[in-house]
């Protein structure tokens, strides 16, 4: 491929058209030179369609710099894609904003028919258009599947949800929530989903507990396999010196013990022990293993600056999202800064 492109010359007409639109050709040359070597390109036409949708000169230049292969699509292909995305976009203003942010997703026209069938399927399933647009931009690959494959995965999830004791009334909400949290579950096969659920059942998790884990793990469990889950559970059992029943309770409290690989768990555990935290403390608050070593170190440092000793304190103060931690930190800080006098008592001043 390299030899072929090296022997070809850049298309002068393409270069001139790009320059006329103030596109940084050097940038394209550096990143995707092969685009400039093609005999046929539709620079003016594609720029025209983007302007028609409301993009100004700067936006057009940015889009073509980020995704130069856009100029290799015919105007017909791009207009078809435009009509397709309009099925879920409120208006062209929103559409052009999405194209500016995610040009690669929009200009992938190869799977047009699959994309269309999947958009209609997701709408029929009950997903809101704003969720579908989020999928189109952040998880475009799920639209490349034939719609039958996606339907198959959804049917497998629905069947298992009911088999595990979920109610028919709640099933739709459960499926939509799972998809919204992790659309990539659609990239799995029905067999993988089935095998992973059976693995949990074989490890004595009740149907109710399996459902609980699925919701907590936001569907990530389907991107694992039974071998890695088995190894992670064995590692936790050894480290925390616990029985099968105790291990199960730990996993239910901290599903990360199930879905992180042994090397990741080892590294996080080591990071905590280096900070002087005991294994007993970690076992008491296993959720701390959901945090990377860097986050843990940063949070410990911030708390230490307030005089809070994590070795004797509660590990709960390290947990949660960034927002959760800021709330905890704020509470500890205000407690430390609280005045010792009664702020509502009258102040006696001399006349």
| Band (181; pLDDT cuts 50, 70, 90) | confident
Burial profile 248-279: b = 16 or more Cβ within 10 angstroms, e = fewer: bebbeebbbbbbbeeeebeebbebbeeeebee
The 8 Å CB, 24+ separation contacts for 243-246 are 244/204
CA-to-CA distance for 128 and 144, rounded, in angstroms?
A: 20
For residue 98, tell me if it sits in a domain. yes
Task: Say if CB 136 and CB 143 are below 8 A apart.
Answer: yes
Residues of the chain with pLDDT > 70, as a percent, come to 94
| 339 band by pLDDT with thresholds 50, 70 and 90 | low
Identify which of 132, 65, 128, 148 has the alpha carbon closest to the alpha carbon of residue 95.
132
Query: pLDDT-derived band of residue 47, with 50, 70 and 90 as boundaries?
Result: very high
pLDDT attached to residue 346:
54
Instruction: Report pLDDT digits (tens) over 184-204.
Output: 989 888 888 888 888 999 998
Residue 79 tokens read as: 């207009």
Indicate whether 271 belongs to any domain. no
pLDDT above 60: residue 138: yes
Q: What is the pTM assigned to this prediction? A: 0.76
Instruction: For residue 2, name the pLDDT band (cuts at 50, 70, 90).
Output: very low
User: What is the structure's pLDDT at 345?
Assistant: 52
Position 350 confidence tier, pLDDT thresholds 50, 70, 90: very low
Query: Contact 286/253 with Cβ under 8 angstroms?
Result: yes
- Looking at the domain assignment, is residue 226 inside a domain? no
Residue 46 lies in a domain: yes
How many residues appear in the chain? 351
The pLDDT assigned to 190 comes to 84
pLDDT digits (tens, 9 = 90+) for 106-136: 999 889 999 999 999 999 999 999 999 999 9
Q: What is residue 3's predicted lDDT score, i.e. its pLDDT?
A: 38
Q: Is the pLDDT of residue 343 over 70?
A: no
| Number of Cβ atoms within 10 Å of the Cβ of 70 | 25
The single-letter DSSP state of residue 218 is T
On the CB side of 239, CA atoms within 13 Å amount to 25
Number of domains in the chain: 1
Q: Is 242 exposed, middle or buried (0-12, 13-18, 19+ CB in 10 A)?
A: middle
Higher pLDDT, 251 or 340: 251
pLDDT (0 to 100) of residue 27: 93
| Domain of residue 19, residue span | 10-109
Average pLDDT, the chain: 88
Q: How confident is the model at residue 342 (pLDDT cuts 50, 70, 90)?
A: low
How confident is the model at residue 206, as a pLDDT? 92
Please write the tens of the pLDDT for every residue from 4-37.
445 578 999 999 999 999 999 999 999 999 999 9
More confident residue, 314 or 272: 272
What mean pLDDT do residues 41-60 have?
A: 95
pLDDT, tens digit, 9 for 90 and up, residues 283-310 = 998 999 988 999 999 998 988 888 888 8
Q: Of 105, 40, 168, whose CA–CA distance to 17 is shortest?
A: 40
**Does residue 246 form part of some domain?**
no
pLDDT-based confidence at residue 351 (cuts at 50, 70, 90):
very low
Tell whether 56 is covered by a domain: yes
Taking only the tens place, the pLDDT of each residue in 217-248 is 777 777 788 888 999 999 999 999 999 999 99
Residue 139 banded pLDDT, cuts 50, 70, 90: very high
pLDDT score of 97? 94
Q: Say if 63 falls within a structural domain.
A: yes
Q: Is 304 contained in some domain? A: no
């Amino acid at each position: 491929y390299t030899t072929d492109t090296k022997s070809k010359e850049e298309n002068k007409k393409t270069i001139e058209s790009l320059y006329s639109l103030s596109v940084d050709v050097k940038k394209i040359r550096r990143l995707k030179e092969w685009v400039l070597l093609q005999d046929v390109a539709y620079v003016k036409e594609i720029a025209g369609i983007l302007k028609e949708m409301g993009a100004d000169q700067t936006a057009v230049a940015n889009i073509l710099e980020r995704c130069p292969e856009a100029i290799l699509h015919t105007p017909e292909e791009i207009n078809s894609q435009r009509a397709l995305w309009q099925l879920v976009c409120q208006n062209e203003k929103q559409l052009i904003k999405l194209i500016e942010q995610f040009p690669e997703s929009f200009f992938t026209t190869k799977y047009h028919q699959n994309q269309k069938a999947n958009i209609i399927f997701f709408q029929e399933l009950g997903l809101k258009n704003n969720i579908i647009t989020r999928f189109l931009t952040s998880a475009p690959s799920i639209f490349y599947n034939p719609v039958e494959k996606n339907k198959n995965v959804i049917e497998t999830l629905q069947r298992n949800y009911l088999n595990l004791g979920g109610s028919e009334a709640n099933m739709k909400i459960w499926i939509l929530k799972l998809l919204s949290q992790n659309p990539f579950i659609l990239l799995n096969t029905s067999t993988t989903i089935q095998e992973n659920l059976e693995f949990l059942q074989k490890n004595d998790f009740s149907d109710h507990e399996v459902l609980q884990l699925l919701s907590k793990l936001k569907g990530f469990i389907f991107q694992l396999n039974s071998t890695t889950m088995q190894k992670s559970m064995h590692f936790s059992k050894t480290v925390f010196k616990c029985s099968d029943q105790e291990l199960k309770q730990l996993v239910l409290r901290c599903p990360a013990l199930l879905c992180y690989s042994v090397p990741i768990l080892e590294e996080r555990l080591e990071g905590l022990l280096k900070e002087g935290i005991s294994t007993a403390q970690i076992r008491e608050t296993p959720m701390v293993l959901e945090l990377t070593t860097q986050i843990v170190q940063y949070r410990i440092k911030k708390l230490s600056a307030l005089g809070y000793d994590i070795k004797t304190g509660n590990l709960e103060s390290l947990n949660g999202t960034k927002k959760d931690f800021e709330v905890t930190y704020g509470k500890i800080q205000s407690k430390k800064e609280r005045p010792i006098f009664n702020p509502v008592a009258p102040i006696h001043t001399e006349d």
